[in-house]
Amino acid sequence: MRKHRRYKGWIAALRSLALYFLILVILCTSAFAGLLWLSSRDSVLKSGQGATEAPISSESPSPVFDREVRGVYIASVHNINFPTRSGLSSDQLQAELDAILDHCHRIGFNTLYFQVRPTGDALYASRIFPVSRYLAAAEGGALPLDPLAYLVEKATFLGIDVVAWVNPYRITSSSFPSKEAALASLSEKNPAKQHPDWTVFYGGRLYYNPALPSVSDLIAAGLREICEGYGVKGILYDDYFYPYPVSGESFGDDKAFSDLAPQGMSREDWRRENVNRMVKQSYDTVKSVSQRLSFGVSPFGIWKNASSDPEGSATRGLEAYHSLYCDALAWIRGGYVDYIAPQIYWETGYSAASFDVLVRWWSDRVDGTGVKLFVSHAAYKVEGFALGSKEITDQITLARSYRGFGGSIQYGYAAILANTRNLAGDLQDFYGS
């Protein structure tokens, strides 16, 4: 019996020793693993790598469109929407921007497309372009307020994105009797005045010559300073490339065509290639600042009619491809736009260019490309639409049903502000539902 008790004591002692040994092994293993982790962490930090210590990267293969864009264009050319007139004080400009933001926020807009370079000038603090004549008392005058900086700061607080809307080639929007008169109207700080050989006078207005690499470089430099200097969501171009045709006039690019066009290329194809090159350079410039910045274009709503190309739309209207040398399909297929925002400024049922026909056509073009479709709507035409503001909300509903849809943008903020045919009220109800 005593022997049996002795054996039981030894067994208990052995079990205790085994338990202590197991605990010791676990502690040593954990300590060793901890040392290994610290060592690897230190080496990673020294090498500048490691997701745990690096700031969250803003870079990705493409911008993140994490919500439906509910946008509106805020036009500055001719003081259409902002500012209401040139020469306003800083306080007055702030009050106007505050009112726009408050109104847009109440309606439910989440993106403002703010026209920052309407005519070779700037509604921001630029080192390249003069202060806009629509902002200061005269082009190149003192900047009373940096509207873009102010707008971005205030809009961000409200959860609204700001996209910088740029007109790349237009230098003047008023008509002049001669090129000399147009140039004389410009500030000494204006690159067009410093380089008149970069310009073409056409239809009473002055434009940069799209054929010149120096012009594309100037445009790209302007985009870079916006993207690097302001917290914008991205850049947008509208429909102005080569100017809309003027009867009886020809665009004066004979010398550039003779000097620069590849042998055997038609003038039409060469002009389109000039625009394509500039658009791609613009895209590359924006992406060189940040992959998360977006770049898009809002072209005229008709690429080609089916009567001139089987791939064209069932429409009868001006063709951007032939008249403006604007080949939006090249940009989509080339992958150098993040989105396309065609100006489908007609109501459903309009015989020459019905909205429903065109929104489906553009959806088919972007399908499978990764390019988003943002539809531009004609809020400014709501007074004449048979359905009034319901036409606009019906258009958005229809557009949402198509592949590639990413959002809608209203052109005609004045009609929204005036609540023409209850447009503001109906949009607020629509976006709030």
Could you tell me if 322 and 302 are in contact, meaning their C-beta atoms sit under 8 angstroms apart?
no
Could you tell me if 322 and 244 are in contact, meaning their C-beta atoms sit under 8 angstroms apart?
no
Could you tell me if 268 and 328 are in contact, meaning their C-beta atoms sit under 8 angstroms apart?
no
Looking at per-residue confidence, does 396 or 65 come out higher? 396
Task: Work out the pLDDT band at 149, boundaries 50, 70, 90.
Answer: very high
Q: Please report, for the chain, the start and end positions of each structural domain, with discontinuous segments joined by +.
A: 69-432
pLDDT in tens, 88-131: 999 999 999 999 999 999 999 999 999 999 999 999 999 999 99
The per-residue DSSP string of 36-60 comes to HHHHHHHHHHHHT--TTTSPPP---
Q: How many CB atoms lie within 10 A of CB 430?
A: 18
pLDDT exceeds cutoff 80 at 389: yes
Class of domain 69-432: alpha beta
pLDDT exceeds cutoff 90 at 232: yes
Which of these ranges, 5-19, 149-163, 371-385, 411-425, has the smallest mean pLDDT?
5-19
DSSP 313: B
Average pLDDT, stretch 307-311?
Answer: 98
pLDDT exceeds cutoff 50 at 423: yes
Element containing residue 220 per DSSP (H, E): helix 213-229
Average pLDDT, stretch 389-396?
Answer: 98
> What average pLDDT does the chain have?
89
Task: Work out the pLDDT band at 57, boundaries 50, 70, 90.
Answer: very low
Chain centroid offset of residue 223 CA: 11
- The tokens for 127 are 């080192």
pLDDT in tens, 326-340: 999 999 999 999 999
Could you tell me if 107 and 389 are in contact, meaning their C-beta atoms sit under 8 angstroms apart?
no
Task: Work out the pLDDT band at 433, boundaries 50, 70, 90.
Answer: confident
Token pair 């054929």 is found at 211
What is the structure's pLDDT at 152? 98
Q: Rounded to whole angstroms, how far apart are CA atoms 312 and 385?
A: 26
What is the structure's pLDDT at 22? 52
pLDDT exceeds cutoff 70 at 33: no
What is the structure's pLDDT at 56? 34
Token pair 């109501």 is found at 347
Element containing residue 197 per DSSP (H, E): none
Contacts of 410 (CB under 8 A, 6+ apart): 71, 72, 73, 109, 376, 377, 379, 392, 416, 427
Average pLDDT, stretch 253-280?
Answer: 98
Alpha carbon dihedral 218, 224, 225, 226, in 10-degree steps, equals: 110
Pairing of strands 205-208, 294-297: unpaired
Q: How many CB atoms lie within 10 A of CB 150?
A: 17
- The tokens for 432 are 């709030």
What is the structure's pLDDT at 61? 52
pLDDT exceeds cutoff 80 at 387: yes
What is the structure's pLDDT at 66? 87
DSSP 421: G
pLDDT exceeds cutoff 50 at 31: no
